């Protein structure tokens, strides 16, 4: 049956359902763009920012219920974590994919906090998620939407479904349902709950709390056209009448997701494949409301190095831990993007490249394992490719995240001067700081055991010989190399024999940049002072 429909570029007349649902603030667009006349509880109380954007969203809202339409509209993706803990590394990758897809197509990337579970949601977790995304460099459009704030709109849709006959009131208590499942299990039957209230006469309704359940079709099948998994068919008799509105009037995830994705104009739902089955039931809500079904893309989960589901025993699962371990955000983005997605043989790439290359068709179907070695390798390449000033900023953020002491002004200067010989040899900021020690420390240079050993009496003697020659030498690399080679040669030694003690004197440890680079960075005065300090 043909339905009147607006295209993305025209007008103002809302479709039938929009008119029906326009009684509450929920029918407005979410992303905080409107001043809302509906009072303090309305989500849209936030300040308007880009009126232009909301215009566009309104237009998008006015398309009809044809599943194919979503793909034709300007891309809108979202990341919708539940704030029950830190930002999981797998969630971070999901966010990244959504971000990449939207940003690569001039679309919008939205953020929604799925906090309808009041027991488990915490503001701390929300803050941690926002921090994590910010660190990763995934900027979202508009303000983060609180799903809980939209509960009135969810309830409104549930009532609309009731009015349409696609949902019903169910008075079964949780005890009754549990007993039903218990019995079903015992008899080996399906535990899917079949509510006795599905076709009940309203005259028989008790005066008791009820939930609103979806009246899901029992025959036929629901096909999910998934951009990653292909066509996935699920028999409708495998699905039960899911609860949309709890007995306390709050929405369930299954309803809220659909309502919010629809209202936010989400065109592409890219999420973990643990939601693949859910997509079928969610499709039923879209159909019931005659809304556009978004393009689905269910991506495989990330597993630990042992191939098992990622959990705390694998070590770092929270994104912020990676920052504290000294991985640069650019390397993290590169690695995460490459995990489960590919663009031919490209391994090392910038976020700009990733944005232009990213496509749903490049996403793999098998779960991927975390490989820290590869992460490190990529991070090393990104550190080497980042300019010095940007690195300094990132390092300072790393120090704060790792709860390590901040850099003093002189340390910042020293680090910047030494950066050229540091950035090519560090895979993480931990390594970089370790190697930068010579430029960050003051005299007297504290020496570790290995350095102590390198400075035996003979070596100290040679260093003492070296000092006077350095006094008058022109301070460039070639000259320095020549002088040191001469001194070593005079003792019948190779450069290696003298570089050890020199390194110990200058850096106090055995891991550092080349001795010549250190001398160049430190300058004549400081170099000689450190040599004297080691000789004495």
Which sequence positions are flagged as catalytic? Answer: 312
The string of DSSP codes covering 137-172 is T---SSPPEESGGGHHHHHHHHHHHHHHTSEEEE--
Query: Nearest approach, Cβ of 302 to RNA (angstroms)?
Result: 9
Cα-to-chain-centroid distance, residue 310? 16
SS3 annotation, 480-510: HHHHHHHHHHHCCCCHHHHHHHHHHHHHCCC
Q: Cis (ω within 30 of 0) for the bond into 155? A: no
Residue 236: helix, strand or coil by DSSP? helix
Choose among 178, 229, 169: nearest CA to 198: 169
Query: Nearest approach, Cβ of 373 to RNA (angstroms)?
Result: 4
- Sign of the Cα torsion 23, 29, 34, 40 reads positive
Task: Let me know the angle formed at the C-alpha of 273 by 353 and 93, rounded to the nearest 5 degrees.
Answer: 35
> Residue 514 contacts by C-beta under 8 Å, 6 or more apart in sequence?
421
Query: Nearest approach, Cβ of 47 to RNA (angstroms)?
Result: 26
Question: CB-wise, 6 or 510, nearer to RNA?
Answer: 510
Question: CB-wise, 275 or 453, nearer to RNA?
Answer: 275
Residue 142 in tokens: 């508009």
Question: CB-wise, 14 or 440, nearer to RNA?
Answer: 440
Query: Nearest approach, Cβ of 389 to RNA (angstroms)?
Result: 22
Q: Are the C-beta atoms of residues 60 and 30 closer than 8 Å to each other?
A: no
Q: Phi/psi at 224 (nearest 5 deg)? A: -100, 120
Cα-to-chain-centroid distance, residue 74? 23
Task: For residues 258 and 128, give the distance between their C-alpha atoms in angstroms, rounded to a whole number.
Answer: 25
Query: Nearest approach, Cβ of 7 to RNA (angstroms)?
Result: 29
Task: For residues 328 and 408, give the distance between their C-alpha atoms in angstroms, rounded to a whole number.
Answer: 21
Query: Nearest approach, Cβ of 348 to RNA (angstroms)?
Result: 7
Query: Nearest approach, Cβ of 291 to RNA (angstroms)?
Result: 19
Query: Nearest approach, Cβ of 209 to RNA (angstroms)?
Result: 6
Lookup result for tokens 């960075």: 521
Residues across the chain: 536
Q: How many CB atoms neighbour CB 378 within 10 A?
A: 25
Task: Let me know the angle formed at the C-alpha of 58 by 142 and 167, rounded to the nearest 5 degrees.
Answer: 100
Instruction: Please report, for residues 41, 62, 157, 208, 492, the alpha-carbon distance to residue 58 in angstroms, rounded to integers and kept in the order given.
Output: 21, 7, 18, 39, 82
Query: Nearest approach, Cβ of 385 to RNA (angstroms)?
Result: 12
Q: Are the C-beta atoms of residues 422 and 435 closer than 8 Å to each other?
A: yes
Question: CB-wise, 66 or 152, nearer to RNA?
Answer: 152
The string of DSSP codes covering 368-403 is EE--HHHHHHHHHHHHHHS-HHHHHHHHHHHHHHTT
Q: Which residues pair with 193 in a beta bridge?
A: none
Task: For residues 45 and 157, give the distance between their C-alpha atoms in angstroms, rounded to a whole number.
Answer: 21
Task: For residues 156 and 250, give the distance between their C-alpha atoms in angstroms, rounded to a whole number.
Answer: 11
Q: Phi/psi at 232 (nearest 5 deg)? A: -115, 120
Question: CB-wise, 274 or 442, nearer to RNA?
Answer: 274
Query: Nearest approach, Cβ of 443 to RNA (angstroms)?
Result: 20
Strand-by-strand arrangement of the 145-146 sheet: 76-79, 108-113, 145-146
Half-sphere exposure of 213 (CA within 13 A, CB side): 22
Cα-to-chain-centroid distance, residue 71? 24
């Amino acid at each position: 049956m043909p339905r009147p429909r607006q295209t993305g570029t025209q007008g103002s007349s809302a479709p039938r359902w929009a008119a029906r649902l326009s009684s509450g603030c929920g029918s407005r667009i979410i992303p905080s763009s409107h001043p809302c006349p509906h009072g303090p509880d309305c989500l849209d109380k936030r300040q308007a920012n880009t009126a232009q954007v909301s215009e566009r969203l309104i237009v998008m809202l006015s398309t009809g219920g044809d599943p194919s339409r979503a793909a034709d509209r300007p891309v809108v993706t979202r990341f919708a974590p539940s704030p029950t803990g830190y930002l999981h590394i797998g969630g971070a990758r999901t966010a990244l994919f959504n971000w990449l897809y939207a940003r690569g197509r001039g679309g919008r990337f939205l953020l929604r906090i799925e906090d309808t579970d009041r027991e488990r949601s915490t503001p701390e977790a929300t803050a941690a998620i926002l921090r994590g995304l910010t660190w990763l460099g995934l900027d979202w459009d508009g303000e983060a939407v609180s799903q809980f704030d939209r509960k009135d709109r969810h309830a409104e849709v549930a009532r609309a479904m009731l009015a349409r006959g696609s949902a019903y009131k169910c008075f079964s208590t949780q005890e009754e349902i549990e007993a039903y499942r218990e019995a079903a299990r015992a008899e080996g039957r399906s535990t899917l709950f079949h509510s006795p209230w599905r076709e009940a006469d309203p005259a028989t309704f008790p005066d008791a709390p009820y939930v609103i359940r979806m009246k899901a079709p029992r025959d036929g099948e629901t096909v999910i056209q998934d951009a990653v998994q292909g066509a996935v068919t699920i028999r409708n008799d495998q699905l039960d009448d899911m609860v949309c509105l709890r007995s306390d009037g709050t929405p369930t995830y299954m309803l809220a997701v659909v309502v919010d994705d629809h209202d936010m104009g989400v065109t592409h739902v890219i999420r973990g494949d643990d939601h693949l089955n859910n997509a079928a039931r969610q499709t039923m809500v879209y159909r019931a409301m005659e809304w556009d079904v978004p393009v689905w893309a269910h991506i495989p989960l990330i597993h630990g190095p042992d191939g098992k589901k990622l959990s705390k025993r694998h070590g770092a699962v929270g994104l912020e831990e990676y920052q504290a371990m000294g991985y640069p955000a650019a390397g993290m983005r590169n690695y995460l993007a490459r995990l489960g997605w590919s663009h031919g043989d490209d391994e090392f790439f910038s976020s700009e490249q990733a944005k232009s290359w990213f496509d749903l068709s490049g996403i793999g179907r098998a779960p991927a394992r975390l490989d820290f070695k590869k992460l490190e390798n990529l991070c090393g390449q990104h550190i080497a490719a980042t300019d010095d000033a940007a690195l300094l900023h990132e390092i300072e953020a790393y120090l704060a995240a790792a709860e390590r002491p901040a850099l003093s002004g002189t340390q910042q200067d020293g680090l910047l001067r030494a950066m050229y010989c540091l950035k090519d040899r560090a895979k993480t900021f931990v390594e970089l700081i370790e190697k930068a020690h010579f430029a960050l420390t003051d005299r007297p240079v504290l020496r570790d055991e290995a350095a102590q050993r390198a400075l035996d009496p003979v070596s100290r003697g040679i260093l003492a010989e070296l000092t006077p020659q350095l006094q008058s030498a022109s301070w460039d690399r070639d000259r320095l190399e020549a002088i040191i080679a001469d001194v070593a040669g005079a003792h019948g030694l190779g450069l290696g024999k003298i570089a050890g003690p020199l390194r110990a004197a200058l850096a106090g440890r055995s891991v550092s940049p080349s001795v010549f680079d250190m001398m160049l960075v430190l300058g004549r005065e400081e170099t000689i002072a450190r040599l004297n300090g080691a000789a004495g």
